[in-house]
Structure 1
Amino acid sequence: MLLHEASPERIQKAVKAVGRIYDFYMIVEKGRPLSAEQMERMVLRFFEARQFGNSQLGWTAVSRNTAIDDYRYVMEFTDFAAGNFGHTPINPLELKLVSDLGIKEQQLLNSKMAIKKTWDKNYHLQPTTQEAQGIVATRKSKMPRKKNKKNRRPKHFPPDRVLDIIRATPSIRDKLYLLLLFFGGLRKSEPFHLFVTDIRIIDGSAVVRLADPEEGKYDWEEKFAGKQSGSRLQFLKQRYDLGPRSKLSVEHPLHAGWKGMVYENDRNEVTMQWLVPAIGEYFAHLHKEYMQQHRNHVKDDHPYYFINTRDDDSFGTPLKMSNMDKSFYRSAKRIGLRANQYGVNPHGARHFFGYFCATHLRLKIELTQVLMRHAYLSSTEVYYHLGIEVARRELEAGQKLLADSIPSFCQSMKKFANRG
């Protein structure tokens, strides 16, 4: 920074950021030895501690942009330490061809070059640089991005139409799918990995188990070999000679992605929590009908819960994601919603889950993080949206409390306003 004539203010901020990461490492992380991968995750936790605060260090929450500035100062410091002292950089720079960048990244680079041309007196030397030769230095892992200051509309499905779209869905199977998305917070691909045995009815409510489709532990029984225990990948191979749907190519019609989640035990699984207990009971009721009418009549060719229910040769085969996408948009159309409307898509249901946690249940973002099975608070922040109507009610309640507790102050304010 000194060599590049950084401003004193920027140098001061960078020094403070390095001091903070040291405090975080020594106090929160206990100064334990870390691998390069663990270091990268530690710095992401540092970023979240800056953004949301940390009681151990007495840090209060700061804006996301301030937290990102600290994160980047730490990156620059580790680059310096790596170049001068042989240390391992946390998020190393690597050279890439401009042609290998995404369209947005290329557009951003071009706009930067256009702006640089207007102020850089040495721009005539640009042809000799790596950038001019089509080579740029980028971080190995994605950097957190600053928020766009433009107003953004919420991404969640319209809250007042959630029950409408479920009612408008004629298929019991498709209703079950929607309940998992809207009130269980599942990503749209996750239900396609559920086995029949992952759904249990306990005390009249459905208990849904989510497990890693490859590494999740599974116990089963073979006719002659008896009780077996292993991973889901091993179970699928041994029993059905199948592979997990996450391992299929993206072009395969039965492919279903798996983004990963925070598991609650060493079996790499977690129990889904219902937003509203009554929905768990409703799901249990529909589940019994679905099993009796459809799933119980399927021969043992695969373990998947969601199947084709059409009365033809496809009956009983694992359901494709494209089928459920079509069903979703057909139901949306029935209640007067269009696919190009904001939030009207299957992933808008997961955004509704986060919105409901913040606006209606008034849960803290840390608890919402657990319910949405996120590893990082910054991931939950994308979904955690407080409705303006709640802010308005809180303001009105605060104003009433103020009027009740110090009426003389309110009267003075009224007189001041009238005089103005």
Structure 2
Amino acid sequence: MIYTESVLVRDNIRADTPTILLLVGSEPFEPLLEFFREKCVSLSSERSYAQAAGRFIEWLSVRADEFEETSKRSLLYTAFVHDLRFGTYQDCLDVHGLNWTPTSHQNLKRLINALLELSDWLSRRHSATMLNPIHHQASAADQLIFWRKWNKQKSGSLLAHTKSHRRVAESVFAVRQAGLPRTRNGMLQEARAFPADRLNDLLWNGFANPGNEGDPRPWVKYNLRDILITLLCAYGGCRVSEPLHLWADDVFVDPDHPDMALVLIHDPSDGMAEYIDPFTGSRRKIVRADFLQRFCGGRKPLTRETGRRHAGWKGCLLTHRERKAFQVIWVDRNAGRIFLTLWRLYIQYVRPVTPHVPWAFVTKHGQPLGVEGFDDSFRSAVRRIGLTPAKWAGTSSHGLRHRYGQWLNELGLGDKEGQVAMHHLNSKSQEVYRQLGLARVVDAIDKVSISTLPEFKEAE
């Protein structure tokens, strides 16, 4: 059997961008790296492609001989999909040694779509045999289904005018699926939000510095850095990774509310940065990736870092076009006031002076803080107030953004307002954050419940 493994490396062809390298045995699978260089997808997408390709290569190494006959080759794809969906055990025995357990429909769809896209690309670039041969022009019925779905997605986007009908038409319309039994069950995607009644406890007790609880100086008593990040996530609706891209000069006094902070979070690579030209004295604007390279000792955006310095960036609805940034919208104005007060203390007393590190939130050694570092601190703070950090309980760091979404429901905001507040590209994306929980639905029905049945009294 051939074993595969995915490793994280840097691609010197793409300016040392982190990328996934698939090892087949001990040799790199070069076509996949070529595919990534052409597609330039996110790191998480690369992992899906590598996982799908690795699974298929391992499966071929033990089952390809069964489909050597020409009459059976059309069954290869179907057999692989079924093994992926239902696992390779039969009667508690796996004769192939793959040890695959059943996977969900959602995960199956993710892997199969990635594998088929890679297969099509290999066919176009290297004349490889397509895994699931089809005609590249779909039938009129298939095209109708595709465009109805596309139009529905387009209608939910504030950037609908940027979706090119012609560009999408160039893609392959055909829908390729193996005949697997479909599940008709749907799951309630209940938003697991951080408990609202425990947020104050988290901020002022969870993030209190151990041993300094009695110190009257706030910058000594509290972990101001992580309180500020928590405020941005819980009361500003940020994803955990987004505040980590904040630079020290990205916080302003709100001109409409001088006691509140106006926070702009920029695209980590393409966001605007300014500098003073030493020859002319004029103020110039460049992108942040260029600024980091030229004025910060060759540093890279945190999206291109690895390990504990890495912080991701999911596509956002940018409210400030020129700066390529979005504004944090406070769900509670008092949070904006507290943030401004603590921000000034943090910059003055806590943040170390680091000339070549523009990021606002740094470690005690002056290095940029990554998601992993904040999550460690957040989990410790949750435990200090007697809670268990867990996604299912809403007490993970992502539960803070879910809390923001639930507060939008309580304020009665519509989909479009919620889309801007949570900086989603598509209005449908907020549904997972604003889904009403089972308890809320039961409570709503109880308030208006009808009564048509008499009470049942057990005979004496």
Return the TM-score normalized by structure 2.
Answer: 0.55
Tell whether 2:330 aligns with 1:274: yes
Match of 1:318 among 365, 368, 380: 368
Kindly tell me: are residues 183 and 417 of structure 1, through their superposed partners in 2, closer, same or farther at Cα, counting changes over 3 Å?
same
Match of 1:263 among 318, 333, 340: 318
Distance 1:89 1:292 in 2: 55
2:403 maps to a residue whose letter is F
Q: In the alignment, what sits opposite 1:161?
A: 198
Q: Deviations over 1:148-181 (max 9, x none)?
A: 5244443222233222211221211111111011
Match of 2:230 among 163, 174, 178: 178
Kindly tell me: are residues 335 and 247 of structure 1, through their superposed partners in 2, closer, same or farther at Cα, counting changes over 3 Å?
closer
Distance 2:143 2:226 in 1: 50
Distance 2:272 2:151 in 1: 28
2:345 maps to a residue whose letter is E
Q: Deviations over 1:82-114 (max 9, x none)?
A: 9xxxx945554599xxxxxxxxxxxx96xx55x
1:283 maps to a residue whose letter is F
Tell whether 2:287 aligns with 1:231: yes
My pick for the range that moved more, 317-326 or 283-292, is 317-326
Distance 1:364 1:41 in 2: 23
More helix by share: 1
Q: In the alignment, what sits opposite 1:382?
A: 432
- Quick check: 2:192–2:391 contact (8 Å CA) kept in 1? no
Kindly tell me: are residues 307 and 20 of structure 1, through their superposed partners in 2, closer, same or farther at Cα, counting changes over 3 Å?
closer
- Quick check: 1:365–1:384 contact (8 Å CA) kept in 2? no
Q: Deviations over 1:105-141 (max 9, x none)?
A: xxx96xx55x59xxxxxxxxxxxxxxxxxxxxxxxxx
Kindly tell me: are residues 247 and 418 of structure 1, through their superposed partners in 2, closer, same or farther at Cα, counting changes over 3 Å?
closer
Q: CA deviation at 1:390?
A: 5.8
Q: Deviations over 1:220-268 (max 9, x none)?
A: 224445322121122222211334424424x343221111201123321
Q: CA deviation at 1:322?
A: 2.0
- Quick check: 1:213–1:244 contact (8 Å CA) kept in 2? no
Q: CA deviation at 1:201?
A: 2.5
Distance 1:290 1:317 in 2: 16
Q: CA deviation at 1:307?
A: 1.4
Kindly tell me: are residues 270 and 340 of structure 1, through their superposed partners in 2, closer, same or farther at Cα, counting changes over 3 Å?
closer
Q: Deviations over 1:3-61 (max 9, x none)?
A: xxxxxxxxxxx979949958xxxxxxxxxxxxxxxxx9655215x49xxxxxxxxxxxx
- Quick check: 2:308–2:369 contact (8 Å CA) kept in 1? no
Q: CA deviation at 1:293?
A: 0.8
Tell whether 2:154 aligns with 1:45: yes
Gaps of 5+ in 2: 1-139, 158-164, 209-222
Distance 2:387 2:309 in 1: 28
1:344 maps to a residue whose letter is T
- Quick check: 2:297–2:356 contact (8 Å CA) kept in 1? no
Distance 2:353 2:143 in 1: 60
Distance 1:371 1:147 in 2: 34
Tell whether 2:456 aligns with 1:347: no
Q: CA deviation at 1:375?
A: 0.9
Distance 2:403 2:272 in 1: 31
2:207 maps to a residue whose letter is T
Distance 1:384 1:186 in 2: 15
Describe how 1:10-409 pairs up with structure 2 within 5 A. 18=144, 42=151, 44-46=153-155, 48=156, 88=169, 90=171, 92-93=173-174, 149-167=186-204, 168-170=206-208, 171-202=223-254, 203-226=258-281, 227-249=283-305, 251-267=306-322, 268-295=324-351, 297-309=352-364, 314=365, 316-340=366-390, 342=392, 343-358=394-409, 360-386=410-436
Q: Deviations over 1:300-328 (max 9, x none)?
A: 1221100123xxxx1x2222322211110
Distance 1:41 1:254 in 2: 37
Distance 2:455 2:195 in 1: 44
Kindly tell me: are residues 372 and 254 of structure 1, through their superposed partners in 2, closer, same or farther at Cα, counting changes over 3 Å?
same
Distance 1:160 1:370 in 2: 26
Kindly tell me: are residues 355 and 302 of structure 1, through their superposed partners in 2, closer, same or farther at Cα, counting changes over 3 Å?
same
Q: CA deviation at 1:376?
A: 0.8
Gaps of 5+ in 1: 1-13, 23-39, 50-77, 96-107, 117-145, 400-412
- Quick check: 1:248–1:254 contact (8 Å CA) kept in 2? no
3-state secondary structure, aligned to 2:268 = coil
Count of paired positions: 288
Q: CA deviation at 1:349?
A: 1.1
